[in-house]
Amino acid sequence: MKSHSEQDGGNGPAKGLDAGGVAIVAVTREVPGSLAIHVPGVRVELRPGPLERMTRAALLEHVRGAHVIVSMFSDRVDAEMLDAAGPQLRGVCNLAVGFENIDLKECARRGVAVSNTPNAVTEGTADLAWMLILAVARRLIEGDEFARSGAWERHGPLSMSQFLGLDLTGRTLLIVGAGRIGYATALRSLGWGMQVLYTARSRHWEFELAPLAARRVELDEGLRAADVVSIHTPLTDQTRHLIGERELSLLKPTAILVNTSRGPVVDEDALVRALEAKQLWGAGLDVFEHEPRVHEGLRRMKNVVMMPHVGSAATKYRAMMTEMVSENASAMLAGREPPNRVV
């Protein structure tokens, strides 16, 4: 991570920062691109984070005295961390679209602003969702292993009945969670002429108008009809284990389940049992219930394609996230409203 320290003229520093003083920005992990934080009249000192995750004790020491914390979705930002930072802390910039890792009520109580990085993750995560869909449908893991291991050479030419996968043309896609990423994922289905269904607490006209012409359904109806289920809902108390044993039992045996939102939305124990019972064709997962630990049952299944929570991990999109964090942190330190404020 490159760092910039800037001292500009302008409207002067925010309240609580002396002109010519130092504002400390503690970054919990290495970020892609360059954090460029500009505050009029104040020198910004970046405290960069390591590539590897710090221990909790080291992390608490790392944020001590910070005016802004740049956190990752895997960092627990709670009263303990806020206490460690100190009363001068004025903001937490989460390098993620989700923010369930942050105690929002505690931040609000202390007057600590919180921001995220929406939009920047949309296209990359939608691309990854479709990579998982196609990989599961066409048995990518099995085929790659067969070709890479030398088994193909030993076996000889394949028969026409080997490695048969699923076609997607004209099938039904269910989007669970009608936000930006869900919409971008649905748009990509037009290339396969798929019918799109979606679930949401209220109607989303952008889904129902052209070009998608999607239909809003209750979750159970959508699960019964879907050939592909793609999950894009945020993690809340209401969505934890939204997809469990009962919901999985509604799927067709040829259905594909993809999750690029948050791991605990799916009950992994129930998913493993459903896959073992061949209640669905396969699953594509970028997120896990207890990540970075992956369920042993999922690890041994060849009809499960897994990625290590890298939905936005394309150079362009991660650089955009870093730029958004820079803008949010600059605003917090200058006493302005952050562009992507959550609380």
Report the DSSP pairing between strands 68-71 and 91-94.
parallel
pLDDT digits (tens, 9 = 90+) for 194-204: 999 999 999 99
Tell me the average pLDDT across 94-100: 94
For position 19, what pLDDT does the model report?
Answer: 55
Q: Which of 138, 82, 148 is nearest to 111 (CA)?
A: 82
Residue 138 among the catalytic residues: no
Residue 309 among the catalytic residues: yes
Phi-psi region of 249 (alpha: psi -120 to 50; beta: other; left: phi over 0): alpha
For position 1, what pLDDT does the model report?
Answer: 45
* Domains 2-118+316-334 and 122-306 are alike in CATH topology: yes
The answer to whether 18 and 47 are in contact (CB under 8 A) is: no
pLDDT digits (tens, 9 = 90+) for 218-259: 999 999 999 999 999 999 999 999 999 999 999 999 999 999
pLDDT digits (tens, 9 = 90+) for 55-85: 999 999 999 999 999 999 999 999 999 999 9
Instruction: Give the CATH architecture of domain 2-118+316-334.
Output: 3-Layer(aba) Sandwich (3.40)
For position 2, what pLDDT does the model report?
Answer: 41
Q: Give the least confident one: 7-21, 155-169, 310-324.
A: 7-21
Active site residue: 29, 90, 204, 309, which one? 309
- Tell me the two tokens of residue 72: 């990752």
Mean of per-residue pLDDT scores for the chain? 93
Q: Which residues does residue 304 pair with via DSSP β-bridges, in sequence order?
A: 283
Q: Is the dihedral of CA 307, 160, 255, 277 positive or negative?
A: negative
Q: Which residues does residue 256 pair with via DSSP β-bridges, in sequence order?
A: 228, 282
Question: Is the link from the previous residue into 211 a cis peptide, with omega within 30 of 0?
Answer: yes
Give the domain ranges of the chain. 2-118+316-334, 122-306
For position 11, what pLDDT does the model report?
Answer: 43
The answer to whether 177 and 199 are in contact (CB under 8 A) is: yes
Answer whether CATH 3.40.50.11710 is correct for domain 122-306: no
For position 127, what pLDDT does the model report?
Answer: 98
Active site residue: 232, 262, 295, 318, which one? 262
Residue 291 among the catalytic residues: yes
Active site residue: 106, 142, 221, 291, which one? 291
Distances (CA, A) of 80 to 49, 116, 143: 19, 21, 48
At residue 10, does pLDDT exceed 90?
A: no
At residue 272, does pLDDT exceed 70?
A: yes
To the nearest 10°, the Cα dihedral for 30, 36, 42, 48? 10
